[in-house]
Amino acid sequence: MTPTVVAIHIAKGRRLPMQAKDRVEVEAGKGIVGDRYHGAKHRHVSVQSRESLDQAAEIFGREVLSELTRRNITISHGPVPRDPGALLRIGDVLLEAVRVAAPCKLLDDTIGAGAQEALRRRAGTVFRVLEGGSIAVGDPVLQPDLLPIT
């Protein structure tokens, strides 16, 4: 089964609460319109897997809500490409992996003590936007050769 977008979140500024969206516009070379990283050099969009969050929840001992990780896009399942240069297409948007999104200490404050460690190696990937467009909840997620990821 092809993974799909299950949640989209943006924040207008650092440490401001994440806002859920059904659809966002994404600009090539800039990122998600209205997000705090829009216009950043490389950190345009962050993507995580709900499946990885569920694994983190088993370690952490309670649910890890998508919006509390401060990532933009949550996909239903499957691995999120981690290698720099790997491609991911979501909706109209083509993304290129820049680096692993390491969980920060702030997660222990917002989610609870131990969240940072539970999310280690499960916190997703930071991407730059090569081709803009829109991303909506329900959009399919395709990998480098643009076939569904499994």
**Each residue's pLDDT expressed in tens, for the chain with a length of 150 residues:** 899 999 999 999 877 889 999 999 999 999 999 999 999 988 999 999 999 888 888 888 888 878 888 899 999 999 899 999 999 999 999 999 999 988 777 776 777 777 777 777 888 899 999 999 999 999 999 986 554 455
pTM score, two decimals? 0.90
Structure tokens at 62: 């309670």
CB within 8 A of 34, min separation 6: which ones?
Answer: 10, 12, 24
Kind of pairing between the strands at 31-32 and 125-131: unpaired
